[in-house]
Amino acid sequence: MFGALPLFFMELALGQFNRQGPITVWRICPLFKGVGFCAVTVSYFVSFYYNVIIGWSVYFIYWSFSKNLPWVGCHHGWNTDNCSVQANISSGRSPSQEFFSRAVLETYKSEEYDLLGPPRPALVVCVALVYTVLYMCLFKGIKSSGRVVWITALMPYVIIIILLLRGVVLPGAAEGVKFYLQPDLSQLSNMQVWNDAAVQILFSVGAGFGVHLTYASYNEFNNNCYRDCLIATGVNSMTSFMSGFVIFIYLGFMSHQRGVPIQHVATEGPGLVFQVYPEAIATLPYPQLWAVLFFSMLIMLGIDSGMGGLECVITGLMDEFGARFKSWHLHRRVVTLFVVGSSFLVALTSLTPGGIYVFTWLDTYSAGLALLCSALFEAIAVGWVYGSHVLARDIQQMTGSTPGLFWRCCWKFISPLFLGSVLVLGVVFSGPLSYDGFEYPLWATALGWTYALVPALFVPHWITA
């Protein structure tokens, strides 16, 4: 209400009124042109690890066509003596955990953060396939990607509904729903919860990335962007809420199967998607069918978001440096190939035996502090430099109605204050970075904060240039 929603509306209005990309749109207040570079850089940084998730999904969907799912049982070559198929796993690791960590990631081959090893060929092929699809969807421009979105955005709803209908009849499903709908309100005193929530909703809505500035620049001038804002954010929130039922129904089922509390089953990050959920699916009749449906949904959702982020980068570069590219005979196809190809090269670091540590590092510092900085600078630039009253006048010119007092107050006061507070508290109360019991060395944490600040530094650099 006070962060993502006002920014989403603001980005739609700015892009539609000025009909410019995420960088050139800041001609409205040239001193803050660095905000555009900040947003584009954040989108580019996120692509380094986000498309790896889609690649993992491709790898899983390949194995989902096996006669026997490989994450079932402890008789495989990658399993260890700690593997346990018992319902109540008090010690040891489940077959799905060992499949993901040992067969997919091969983390046992890298005991140190800085000893990555060579990329795994199978994962390289899967991620290369993802980047190839992204390039084919993007190199012709917005029209080709717009057609793809009709499939990638709508089909996941069909799969979510199918998974939901199948899950409600499972034993333990009711306990999962109860756990989902009864949050622990004492967690609201934890500042990290607020930081995580702010980053998550900005990531979910897409505010701060410059993606909506990019897409809105292709709208008709008189398009009702206010209606689009309410519909898009409403659908987004309802989709997240419905997806929560799907997730926790199966977590309740896993809790029932193992005989342990739900909080001991649930995990964060890739573990939930690639360890817990596959294990739950494997216990259903015709598990291959459910595995194919689930990972197909992940791939379509990932391709959809991946296209948006890279389109933002490509459009931003083409709008800002189009004349220079033309003088160098660099057309959109070449620029798209460079953006997609360079992102793929960085993503290779996450496909090594030590790649999960790089992945976690990128996930933490690409979409955390950097995204909050991008959103905060956007709110300040529009609310205080361009002027919330000027933006309201622009919207009135496009839609015929002036935004209410709530929106104008959010753009000028509430959103900058809220985002700034969350950002500061998130930095102050941030704990040491760790993954699966491994605590990152001090130099990796320091490098991470430096990496996160790179996009934000465009703003003061441009002001003082």
Per residue in 304-331, is it b (16+ CB within 10 Å) or e — as a string? bbbbbbbbbbbbbbbbbbeeebeeeebe
Average pLDDT for residues 244-269, to the nearest whole number?
A: 84
Q: What is the pLDDT of residue 100?
A: 93
Average pLDDT for residues 357-383, to the nearest whole number?
A: 88
Q: How far apart are the first and last CA of the chain?
A: 35
Q: Of 75-79, 361-365, 391-395, give the range with the top mean pLDDT.
A: 391-395
- Give start and end residues of each alpha helix (H) in 328-441: 332-347, 355-366, 369-380, 388-399, 405-409, 415-428
Q: Of 136-140, 226-230, 458-462, give the range with the top mean pLDDT.
A: 226-230
- Residue 120, CB-side half-sphere exposure with 13 Å CA sphere: 24
Residue 90 pLDDT > 60: no
Q: What is the pLDDT of residue 371?
A: 85
CATH number at residue 121: 1.20.1740
Q: What is the pLDDT of residue 308?
A: 87
Distance CA 240, CA 245 (A): 9
Q: List, in order, residues 6 or more apart from 47 with CB less than 8 Å away.
A: 306, 309, 310, 313, 343, 347
pLDDT tens digits for range 118-130: 999 999 999 999 9
Distance CA 248, CA 255 (A): 10
Q: What is the pLDDT of residue 428?
A: 82
Q: What is the pLDDT of residue 259?
A: 82
Task: Please give the mean pLDDT across all residues of the chain.
Answer: 88
pLDDT tens digits for range 392-435: 999 999 999 999 999 999 999 999 999 999 888 878 877 788 88
Residue 146 pLDDT > 70: no
Residue 191 pLDDT > 90: no
Q: What is the pLDDT of residue 422?
A: 86
- 183 lies in which domain range? 4-464
Find the range with the poorest average confidence among 15-19, 58-62, 191-195, 237-241. Answer: 191-195
Q: What is the pLDDT of residue 145?
A: 56
- Residue 173, CB-side half-sphere exposure with 13 Å CA sphere: 12
**CA-closest candidate to residue 349, choices 123, 104, 58:** 123
Q: Of 43-47, 247-251, 284-288, give the range with the top mean pLDDT.
A: 43-47
Q: What is the pLDDT of residue 142?
A: 61
Q: What is the pLDDT of residue 50?
A: 94
% of the chain beyond a pLDDT of 70: 95
Coil, helix or strand at residue 329? coil
**CA-closest candidate to residue 131, choices 351, 366, 365, 357:** 351
- What are 401-408's contacts with CB under 8 Å, separation 24+? 401/226, 403/9, 403/226, 407/6, 407/9
Which DSSP category does 438 fall into?
E
Q: What is the pLDDT of residue 272?
A: 81
H or E element: which one contains 231?
helix 225-258
Q: What is the pLDDT of residue 227?
A: 95
Average pLDDT for residues 194-209, to the nearest whole number?
A: 85
Number of domains in the chain: 1
Residue 183 pLDDT > 90: no
Tell me, yes or no, if the pTM score tops 0.85: yes
Per-residue confidence band for 436, with pLDDT thresholds at 50, 70 and 90: confident
Q: What is the pLDDT of residue 275?
A: 85
Angstrom CA distances, 267 to 133, 294, 296, stand at: 30, 18, 22
Which residue(s) pair with 435 in the sheet?
Answer: 438
Q: What is the pLDDT of residue 353?
A: 92
Residue 230 pLDDT > 60: yes
- Residue 90, CB-side half-sphere exposure with 13 Å CA sphere: 1
